[in-house]
């Protein structure tokens, strides 16, 4: 599976979990932020797609994804995010 396809699948999972995805530039790695009752994942626009996938998989591993239909390759990625 290509990196862009993996990224799109991860975006789909975020949508199903009602987590917003935002981009910015600056001196930060990115990750999950909570503001009031809203969850947002910020990604650094200057990072590679591989870094974005790594951040998303690290953050999503903390969620119960059992009720969401996920491609088997993506599920393996989410179960072992350190291997990316």
To the nearest 10°, report the CA torsion of 45, 18, 78, 75.
-130
Note the pLDDT of residue 76. Answer: 87
pLDDT at 83 over 70: no
CA-to-CA distance for 72 and 15, rounded, in angstroms? 18
Please report the pLDDT score of residue 32 as a whole number: 94
d(CA 23, CA 21): 7
Half-sphere exposure of 74 (CA within 13 A, CB side): 22
pLDDT at position 84, please? 60
Summarised one tens digit per residue, pLDDT across range 36-68 is 899 999 999 999 999 999 999 999 988 888 888
Mean per-residue pLDDT over the chain, rounded: 91
Q: In angstroms, what CA-CA distances link 50 with 5, 12, 64, 69, 82?
A: 12, 17, 23, 23, 12
């Amino acid at each position: 599976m290509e990196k862009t396809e993996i990224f799109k699948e991860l975006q789909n999972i975020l949508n199903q979990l009602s987590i917003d995805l935002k981009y910015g530039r600056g001196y930060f790695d990115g990750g999950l932020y909570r503001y009031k009752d809203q969850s947002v994942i910020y990604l650094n626009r200057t990072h590679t797609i591989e870094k974005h996938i790594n951040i998303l998989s690290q953050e999503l591993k903390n969620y119960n994804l059992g009720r969401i239909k996920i491609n088997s390759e993506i599920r393996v990625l989410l179960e072992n995010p350190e291997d990316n």
